[in-house]
Structure 1
């Protein structure tokens, strides 16, 4: 192995997210990889398939001693194991103790204090949060609006949850990740500003879907940093069963059940919604601002992929590579604020050929779906 190349340890490196990250990093080259998880045989198979500068090691994310052994000698720890909320901040603390940089495809398990001695940490380096946070930056970087700008974002998905993904999703609803029906306006969060669920057309989706306004902390941070006059975010559902299951959970109807039973209900509902259909994940952003002469102008960006785990893994890989190369300053950051949008989109297109990326021009007076033609690999 090239001992001079940075060593990135991938916790959960043979899972759906971690393996996608490992493949992307191996394809890019310039780093060494250590694949870890509780199943050393699976880690070894993954490392062997990747070849080159790749090794395997056992790692139990619930054991401090095991984590410390795994991260020893690493320049960066990329945390892709789950359920992330059940693992708490153990991986992050192990990385800090070893003097390694840290990347988490989830949100870092809450707003707790940074571990002592932490160097560089990039959190929320996944699909949503992560790629979703890059949308407003992509649009404002591209068109640099002058005057009051308003952003609306949408995340639409169709596909069966994994058990781990379902647990993390349910736990995230109670962790202050966002505020239902809220809107960012004039420098503050306005509660109850938006109506509940509605049927809407969203660019990149061929038919109306059910949208629910949910202002994320990720978007609040971007709106504040970019000086947006207004910002809204909508989670959207292509099918009724998953939405019904989540509504029961939010209303407390299922809270008497165990977390495992609740996660099983989410997996079952999402599977039924996707039955016989092609899975997809769509992120859509719209930016409205005064154009020349004050004419209202609307610009849009759409990112569409088939595999949410793979998309998450690629974003995590980009973040880990940037930390390993010393391109991210010290301190704690959210991926949407420090990663270069175009570099992330280029990586998605390189490593996931079915990914569609589109930027749209002016769509005066149209709906979100008007005038936008999606072509594979287009930017």
Structure 2
């Protein structure tokens, strides 16, 4: 029995569909209104059962977990519930995959005993950490990394809360880069930038957190720079005020960010783009390549990633312990399964730097 908490929310729903495609089950789908879930999903998930679970109630969570072989947590905002649900899973000796993240796992990890907890089983963090390490397998040695990621589409209140909690958390080192170690305050925000494959001008915000550090260590980088690419004046203005407003009035700031994203994305096609440039050595030759991963809607993609990580645990791909998704060793397993899903995505590996691609877009290369 696989229990999916928050299984009729958007991410959870797509995770359930993918698990069903894999023949994994039976599925027990939990939420505060199971009848709503059944009405939404019974036609496409005929073998599932729906059961009440209140993520604010430890006893309710424990009752739901009973009889399950593994729990997939898709309840949001994850910063409120991830650790709570994980602790109860461990008390009942049940493995767990979490589509979200507790931002304190790195500094204050859980003791898992003989069980497995995998967190950040989504697009970012999660896939955004796996993809550059997978790409790095094309090299004998990687020296430097430059990464941009961006997403466009509507933002839920829970998603906005998790985003703000993550971006303002103390594990984010301000304007940091990797120079054989973490070096803060060396990168700067860049406005009005055009990047290949992104649909318009973006503002680049330096990004450094537990996942980027993990990537730097796995690739044994000498230099690494990560940026979030944000489009839309209203979204940028909202983020500029977030560090002050969110602490003073979280609810108002969440609503402000959701409204800003909605206004900025009106009439635009949704996307998730992850672009990674690596410079290193291959067959004793210096080489630079750029890998680009593009997918339309990010929420179905998150659900598919979560389901693949569930399958990885069931297939014995992870040992007991607390694991960030970006730390999974068998990256090819994840990428191969992702290729086999119906995810509408493209992967390109290009023998040019991002700068060269920018020149090419201008028609002068």
Query: Would you say same fold, with TM above 0.5?
Result: yes
SS in 2 for 1:215: coil
Shift of 1:14: 0.2
Q: Count how many residue pairs are aligned between Structure 1 and Structure 2.
A: 359
Q: What residue number does 1:132 align with? A: 128
Displacement after TM superposition at 1:203 (Å): 3.6
Q: Indicate how the Cα distance of structure 1 residues 154 and 35 shifts in structure 2: closer, same or farther if over 3 A, else same.
A: same
5+ residue gaps, structure 2, are none
- Provide the C-alpha distance between the structure 1 equivalents of 2:103 and 2:114, rounded to a whole number of angstroms: 16
1:22 — aligned with what? 16
1:153 CA displacement: 1.3
Task: Give SS of 2:310's match.
Answer: helix
Q: 1:65: Cα distance to partner?
A: 0.6
Q: Is the 8 A contact 1:201 1:368 kept in 2?
A: no
The match for 2:139 among 130, 136, 144 is 144
Q: Which residue, out of 54, 60, 72, partners 1:60?
A: 54
Aligned to 1:377: none
Cα distance in 2 for partners of 1:288, 1:78 equals: 37
- The answer to whether structure 1 residue 367 and structure 2 residue 359 are counterparts is no
Alignment match of 1:274 (pick from 265, 272, 278):
265
Q: Who is 2:155 aligned against?
A: 161
TM-score between the two structures when normalised by the length of structure 2: 0.91
Q: Which SS does the other structure have where 2:42 is aligned?
A: helix
Report SS of the residue matched to 2:72.
strand
- Which residue of structure 2 lines up, in the alignment, with residue 215 of structure 1? 208
Q: TM-score, normalised by structure 1?
A: 0.88
Q: How far apart are residue 113 of structure 1 and its match? A: 3.5
Name the residue aligned to 2:99: 105
C-alpha RMSD over aligned residues: 2.2
1:213 Cα deviation from its structure 2 partner: 1.0
Question: Using the alignment, how far apart are the partners of 2:95 and 2:301 within structure 1?
Answer: 22
Are residue 344 (structure 1) and residue 334 (structure 2) matched?
yes
- The aligned counterpart of 2:117 is 121
Are the counterparts in 1 of residues 112 and 321 from structure 2 also a CA contact under 8 Å? no
What are structure 1's unaligned runs of at least 5 residues?
A: 1-6, 373-379
**d(CA) in 2 for partners of 1:370 and 1:293?**
28
CA distance in 2, matches of 1:275, 1:343: 37
Worse-superposed segment, 226-235 or 115-124: 115-124
Q: Residue 295 of structure 2 contacts residue 343 of structure 2 at CA under 8 Å; is this kept in 1?
A: no
Deviations 1:151-203 (A, max 9, x none): 111111111211110111112233234223100112x1001111223443434
